[in-house]
Amino acid sequence: MRARSGPGRVATAHNHLSGGGFDLPPVEPIFNSYVAQFGLADRLRFTPGNFFDDPLPSADVLIMGHILHDWELDQKRLLLQKAYDALPTGGALIVYEAIIDDDRRHNAFGLLMSLNMLIEGLGFDFTGPDCRGWMADVGFSESYVEHLVGPDSMVVGIK
């Protein structure tokens, strides 16, 4: 059996890696059950916390998947700063979202998701250059955008 997503998928594909998940405490039993199902308890651990109140766990690579679009700009910047603070020099932050294309004409899903977030009064989706600029503002020395599959892309920032 292969893990279908998240840290389990990366861990099953790369036996030399270890990692974990960071989320609110009620998620821990779900995470641990998932990890045990794939025999990864020796390499994946859960860290309970609230990313606004607690420091992020230290790691060589941090991944924020479909997180930043939920929040207003000040909160986005705070989360990016916390990621920067948790990374060692040379470490990377990967932000994957339905990144809106630079011309705002092609990723209809990203545009509609952003409209939905604005209607709900929460956050907003963004372009690759937007995210790269916020990363630079908090100290990341370099960054780039890479298209994934479907409407998703990732912005990688290097500390």
Q: Which residues are catalytic?
A: 69
Tokens representing 32 are 């641990």
Q: Are strands 61-65 and 92-97 parallel, antiparallel or unpaired?
A: parallel
- Angle of helix 6-13 relative to helix 28-37, nearest 10 degrees, comes to 30
Rounded Cα distance between 38 and 17, Å, is: 15
Tokens representing 109 are 């899903």
Tokens representing 123 are 């956050």
Contact criterion met (CB below 8 Å) for 45 and 7:
no
